[in-house]
Every structure is written in C-alpha cells, then in structure tokens.
Amino acid sequence: MCPKDSAAQVPREVAQSPVRRRFAEFLLGGGLLASAISFLYPILRYLVPPAQPDLGTDSVVAGRVGDLRRNSGKVFRFGNRPGILVLTENGDYKAMSGVCTHLNCTVQYRPDLRQVWCACHNGFYDLNGRNVAGPPPRPLELYEVHVRGEEIVVDRRRGA
C-alpha cells in the first residue's frame, strides 16, 4: 500500500477536471459492471439443470398377461413418466397416461367405481381417460394396447 496520499501529488486543476473524473468513474464503474456480469452469467447458466433426455419411448412392455385380475389396474413406467394399465371387467385392456392433468399427481384405478381416480384432489377419469369429475381440466392421454404373445405392449399414438 502506498503510504503517501497519491491524490496530493496530482496537480489541482487535473484532479478537479470534471471530464477526467467522469472518464475515470466510467472506467471504474464499467469495469466493475462487466466483472459482475461475467460472474453472474455463469452462475445463472449453472443454476439451470441440463435437460434430461426424454427416453423417447413410444412403446413399452407394461406387463404380462395374467399379471392383472379383471377390474384392476397397475401403474407402469412409460419413459420418464408413469402410465396406468387397466384390465376392465369385460377383459379389455386400457392404457393411459398416469399423470393427472390437474397438478401432476399419479392416478390409480378404483375398482369400486370402475374409474381412474386421483387421490390428491379427488379427480375422476373414465376408462377412456375423459375427465368426468373433480378438478382435472383435460383428459388423460390414451395409449394403444396390444397383446403380443404373453406381453402387453403399450404404444403412444404419434400424431393422434
């Protein structure tokens, strides 16, 4: 550190020149601002998590024939999100998105009502995914089900 007061050595008229002073302030302020931005920018970028690749599945084996009794359902993994597979009383398979359209809870099958039910806010869907009661604003996306041998395959309808 300089023990002498360096400002005292600068001639008075130079030290008080408003143009020089403003220029110095501009340089100092601009430099500090640029530094601050160069620190904040990486931090902001860092805070945003890298996009998780959607596993991109359009087709998944949701279970095996005989896993489900009639009038029951189960949640299966469809890519990164859950889906729900239901075996109706008539022996038909139904599959749809397992994510409630209201606030993203995972739904379940209610055998007593023969409906898909979301426990979080008491939302109901019928077996075609239509939102029939409670707060859900939209139907659940319906998937296609094929039975191939012993496997129950669920397909997402692209462009549907």
Binding site for another protein (CB under 8 A): 1, 3, 35, 42-43, 45-50
Cα first-last separation, the chain? 73
Structure token digits, residue 145: 């089900």
Burial class (CB in 10 A: 0-12, 13-18, 19+), 71: middle
The single-letter DSSP state of residue 98 is -
Cβ closest to another protein, residue 14 vs residue 48:
48
Burial class (CB in 10 A: 0-12, 13-18, 19+), 120: middle
Minimum distance from residue 70 beta carbon to another protein (Å): 41
User: Which amino acid makes up residue 34?
Assistant: A
Minimum distance from residue 52 beta carbon to another protein (Å): 10
Cβ closest to another protein, residue 15 vs residue 103:
15
Cβ closest to another protein, residue 37 vs residue 160:
37
Minimum distance from residue 31 beta carbon to another protein (Å): 9
Cβ closest to another protein, residue 49 vs residue 66:
49
Cβ closest to another protein, residue 27 vs residue 61:
27
Minimum distance from residue 80 beta carbon to another protein (Å): 17
Q: Please, what's the b/e burial string for 125-140 (b: 16 or more CB within 10 A of its CB; e: otherwise)?
A: bbbebebeeeebeebb
Minimum distance from residue 53 beta carbon to another protein (Å): 11
Helix or strand holding residue 36 (H, E): helix 18-47
